[in-house]
Chain A
Amino acid sequence: MFDTLWYSRKLRVWVAQIALMGSLAALIWWIGGNTAQNLTERGIRTGLDFLSRPARFPISETILHYSPEDSFLWAFIVGLANTLWLSALTILLATVLGLALALARLSAHPMLSRLAAGYVTVFRNIPLIVQLLFFYGVATSVFPPPREAWTPLPGIYLTLRGAYAPDLFLSSSGSWLLAAIALALILTLRIAWRWPTGKALLPLPARLCAAVALWLGASIAIWHLAGRPVRLEFPELNGLNFRGGQHLSPEFCAIILGLTLYTAAFVGEVIRGGVQAVSKGQWEGGRSLGLSERQIMFRIILPQALRIIIPPMTSQYLSTVKNTTLAVAVGYPELGLVVNTVINQTGQALESILIMLGVFLTISLSVSALMNWLNARVALVER
């Protein structure tokens, strides 16, 4: 009976699998136990109870409300929110700029395509951290101190402490009104655009201008009728610095500019590669049908290129999320900087790093899942 068991292929395979998984589990368990023992021996406090204690350290700029009396957990969340905000904004801006770069590189105009190629070469081949430090150096050395601020437009101040602009203050009806006005603009433009050509009195560009003028007039009238629910609050020089209004810090500008310009170079190349991978026959087919070059690009080539673009684009987006941790170098408080500070204040490096690992893994897997879903949707369906 043992003979048959010994020679049973099925059993052997199972035993091998169980042994492998068992060793892996043992290895993880051993590493965990060893770490815990060493931490105790060195008298390092462990556990997550520090998360509820007040953080007490400042975070220089946040998109969620934070004060030093808040807990360490909230400090992590505030850092995470900054990271997500930075990632989302960079991905959006880099994709738009990347698309423009790709179209420029593909253009038949020699100067445009060479300029785009030059841009890609420069920004792709300089390490990101160097670019960030460069932009930060520019932001904090070109501009004047607050007391001698540049004012390109009334209410807008450029200083080496960043840019200040008037803040919009909305009453509750004001935000609804603003949304309605924005919606009206879209509707007006759409109607003007789609107006049946036969019945139109004006050619398309003039029609669009007329629509915008109409919308502007109507909006101003409604705004006055509604009792001016929107007002502007101007920044004022008060003591050492400007107070009030919107503030863009040099740290934020440097990291957004640096990340966007760098990522756009890669995104541009991915899109260009995708477009060029679509067979030339598609262009020729389009031309023989009498479509214009623009129509062929947007109706035939880009939809097919999208299938090729999405997988490498996923990698670019993932890199962007991870690259936001370089904001540490220019002093923008994303999750990495907050984690560093927490480690220093509490000494609980292992827990803090594990939290950061978990968070980045979650973000990356989510981006990845989203892009995979998108990929599945646009993938060629063969019947």
Chain B
Amino acid sequence: MTITARLAFLALPLATMMAANAGHTETTLETVRERDRLICGASQGTPGFGAPDDNGYWRGLDVETCRAVAVAVLDDKDAVDFVPLSGQQRIPALQTGEIDILPRTLTWTVQRDANGIDFTTPNYYEFTGFMMPKSLGIEKVEDMAGATVCVQTGSTTEIVVNDVSAKHQLDLQPVVFDNTSAARQAFFSGRCDALITDAGALASVRASMADRPDDYVIFPATEYVDALTPAVRHGDNQWADIVRWSIQTLIAAEAFGITQGNVDEMLNSDDPRIRRFLGTDPGNGTALGLSDDFAYRIVKALGNYGEVFERNVGMGSPLKLDRGYNALFNQGGLMFPLAFQ
């Protein structure tokens, strides 16, 4: 090979890379419509929040949050691919464009918000909890002195362990795992006295992994409540709006008393707010870059927030969680519908 040929060989990939760099950047909405699939980050298996069922069909509260966006954008609740991600993969996966939405039990924190991701609107409120075997006879944080705690990395819980330990002078001994299932197995094998994570996930673990779920007790680690919030990439405001209002649709539908069963009747409602919400009076959908009936389609396909909750984590599920903080604001909870107008 001559020297010129060698140089040409080297220059070619350089030139192509330069060219690739110069292209027009598509918005996420354009990308998703072109692909005709929505790609969502998912957990590595937290039944009730996000896990495939026996037939490989993804189910869960976070999963249905994603399906709501798919209905809004693609008019098909099944046009979603779920990518299971570990706690530490999830944020880079969102930042680099591997996934479009991250609805995976992600606590809204200032450090995350300031570091390249945008939070939309909370889809679940809860406290961080400890789970311990009842046989140890401990049911509150103050009694946990000297306990070993299984912790998984890639979560805010590592910091909670430290904060709680310092606050109550408990000298907790953390055993930190890189992998969610390793931390859970280590807890059930007895390596640790307690397992710490979000209380909802603890209920899920207890219902799905414990031989006898009644042998374990879950109690709050702190008095603070976290807002678990689906996030999108920083910098695409239109996409953030679409995701935010798709989630809000579920909550607002419950506040309006609209269910999967009565949504067709509600189309004839005389209440102007409901008419605007369902798109009978146009304007909301087009403002977001969607069709005007997007809220109608979401409720028709999935129901309202209350229905989604009961089906996945509430009394209609093995988790049997109370609505608690996740009840509507007028029923003592924190779920608050924004104005659809």
**Which residues of A come within 8 Å of B, CB atoms?**
12, 16, 19-20, 23, 26-27, 30, 34, 41-45, 56-60, 68, 137, 140-141, 145, 160-161, 238-241, 243, 249-251, 328-331, 333, 337, 340-341, 343-349
Cα(A62)–Cα(B252), bound, Å: 50
Tell whether, in the assembled complex, residue A59 and residue B176 are in contact, meaning their CB atoms are under 8 Å apart: yes
- Name 23 A/B residue pairs within 8 A (Cβ), A-sorted: A12-B3, A20-B10, A41-B235, A42-B95, A57-B159, A58-B151, A58-B162, A58-B174, A140-B186, A141-B189, A238-B146, A239-B147, A241-B173, A243-B146, A329-B178, A331-B175, A331-B183, A331-B186, A340-B153, A344-B153, A346-B111, A347-B115, A348-B115
Whether B111 contacts A30 by the Cβ 8 Å rule is no
Given A23-B7, A331-B176, A57:B189 Cβ within 8 A = no
Kindly state whether residue B225 has any CB partner on chain A within 8 Å: no
The answer to whether B161 and A241 have CB atoms under 8 Å apart is no
Chain A residues with CB under 8 A of B155: 344
Is B330 part of the contact surface with A, judged by Cβ < 8 Å?
no
Contact pattern, B 182-197, Cβ under 8 Å of A = 1, otherwise 0? 1100100111010000
The stretch from B14-22, B201-209, B213-221, B283-291 touching chain A is B14-22
Contacts from B to A (Cβ < 8 Å): 3, 6-7, 10-11, 14, 17-18, 21, 87-88, 91-92, 95-96, 111-112, 114-116, 136, 144-148, 151, 153-155, 158-159, 161-162, 165-166, 173-179, 182-183, 186, 189-191, 193, 233-235
Contacts of A337 in B (CB 8 A): 153, 176, 178
CB atoms of B175 and A347 under 8 A apart: no
**Interface contact A344-B11, CB-CB below 8 Å:** no
The answer, among B6, B116, B136, B191, for a CB contact under 8 Å with A161, is B191
Question: Of the candidates A23, A57, A141, which one forms a contact with B11 in the assembled complex, judged by CB atoms under 8 Å apart?
Answer: A23
A347 and B116 contact, Cβ closer than 8 Å, known pairs A240-B147, A340-B154: yes
Output the least CB separation between B202 and chain A (Å): 19
Shortest distance from the beta carbon of A242 to any chain B beta carbon, whole Å:
9
**Min C-beta distance of B272 to chain A, whole Å:** 39
Are B174 and A60 touching (Cβ within 8 A)? yes
- Contact between A42 and B116 (Cβ–Cβ < 8 Å)? yes
* Contacting residue for B88 out of A141, A160, A344, CB 8 A: A344
- For residue B277, give the distance in angstroms from its CB to the closest CB of chain A: 32
A331 touches B178 (CB 8 A): yes
Name B234's closest neighbour in chain A (CB-CB).
Answer: A43
The one of B3, B92, B159, B161 that contacts A349, using a Cβ cutoff of 8 Å: B92
> Least Cβ distance of A337 to chain B in Å?
6
Report the separation of the CA atoms of residues A27 and B331 in the bound assembly, to the nearest whole angstrom.
61
* Cβ–Cβ contact A161 & B115, under 8 A: no
Closest B residue to A33 by CB, please name it: B21
Task: Kindly name the residue among A27, A45, A140, A345 whose own CB sees the greatest number of chain B CB atoms within 10 A.
Answer: A345
| Residue of chain A at shortest CB distance from B116 | A44
Residue in A30, A58, A59, A341 whose beta carbon sits within 8 Å of that of B17 in the complex: A30
6 closest A-B pairs (Cβ-Cβ)? A43-B234, A347-B115, A44-B116, A58-B174, A57-B158, A344-B88
Q: Judge whether A60 and B115 touch: CB under 8 Å.
A: no
Residues of B within 8 A of A349 (CB): 92
B177 lies within 8 A of A331 (CB): yes
Of the candidates A26, A45, A241, A348, the one having the most CB atoms from chain B within 10 angstroms of its own CB is A241
Cβ contact within 8 Å between A345 and B111: yes
Residues of A within 8 A of B177 (CB): 331
Q: How far is the CA of A232 from the CA of B191 in the complex (A)?
A: 27
Cα–Cα, bound, A343→B86 (Å): 13
Contact of B175 with A60 in the complex, beta carbons under 8 Å? yes
Task: Give the docked Cα–Cα distance between A349 and B233 (Å).
Answer: 16
Cβ of A30 and Cβ of B146 under 8 Å apart? Answer: no
Q: A44-B115, A240-B147 are in contact. Are A30 and B14 (CB under 8 A)?
A: yes
- Whole-angstrom distance between the Cβ of B221 and the nearest chain A Cβ: 14
A240 to chain B minimum Cβ distance, whole angstroms, is 5
CB of B14 within 8 A of CB of A27, answer yes
- Residues of A within 8 Å of B166, CB to CB, are 68
Residues of A within 8 A of B193 (CB): 240-241
Q: In the bound complex, what is the Cα–Cα distance between A58 and B155 (angstroms)?
A: 12
- On whether the beta carbons of A44 and B95 are closer than 8 Å, the reply is yes
Cα distance, A164 to B176, chains bound together (Å): 20
Cα separation A250 to B165 with both chains bound (whole Å): 23
In the docked arrangement, what's the CA distance between A345 and B147, Å? 24
Query: Contacting B112 at CB < 8 Å: which of A19, A41, A141, A347?
Result: A347
If A30-B14, A344-B154 touch, whether A140 touches B190 (CB-CB below 8 Å) is: yes
Contacting pair A34 B176 (CB below 8 A): no
In the complex, what distance in Å separates the CA atom of A42 from the CA atom of B96?
8
Contacts of A241 in B (CB 8 A): 146-148, 173, 193
Residues of B within 8 A of A330 (CB): 182
Q: Measured between alpha carbons, how far is A329 from B186 in the docked complex, in Å? A: 12
14 additional contacts (CB under 8 A) given A140-B191, A161-B191, A341-B153: A20-B10, A26-B14, A43-B116, A44-B115, A56-B159, A58-B176, A68-B159, A241-B147, A328-B178, A331-B183, A337-B153, A337-B176, A344-B154, A346-B115
Which residues on the A side are within 8 Å of B178 (C-beta)? 328-329, 331, 337, 340
Inter-subunit contact A240/B136 (CB<8 Å): yes
B176 touches A333 (CB 8 A): yes
A45 touching B162, Cβ below 8 Å: no
Q: Which residue of A lies closest to B149 (CB)?
A: A58
- Whether A347 contacts B111 in the complex (CB less than 8 A), given A43-B234, A250-B191, A340-B88, comes out as yes
Q: In the assembled complex, how far is the CB of residue B131 from the closest CB belonging to chain A, in whole angstroms? A: 15
Q: Once bound together, how far apart are the Cα atoms of A349 and B3, in whole Å?
A: 39
Question: Hey, which chain A residues are within 8 Å of B154, CB to CB?
Answer: 340-341, 344
Q: Of all chain A residues, which has the CB nearest B109?
A: A345
B164 CB, min distance to chain A CBs, angstroms: 11
Complex Cα spacing A337 to B183, Å: 14
Given that A241-B148, A347-B115 are known contacts, is A140 also in contact with B234, CB under 8 Å in the complex?
A: no
A42 touches B234 (CB 8 A): yes
Q: In the complex, A19 Cα to B8 Cα: how many Å?
A: 11
User: Closest residue to B2 on the A side, CB-wise?
Assistant: A16
The answer on a CB contact under 8 Å between A45 and B88 is: no
Which one of A43, A56, A238, A345 contacts B235 once the chains associate, using CB atoms below 8 Å?
A43
Contacting residues, chain B, for A249 (C-beta < 8 A): 175
Measured between beta carbons, the chain A residues less than 8 angstroms from B162 are: 56-58, 68
In the bound complex, what is the Cα–Cα distance between A34 and B191 (angstroms)? 46
Give CA–CA (A241, B146) in the complex, Å.
Answer: 6
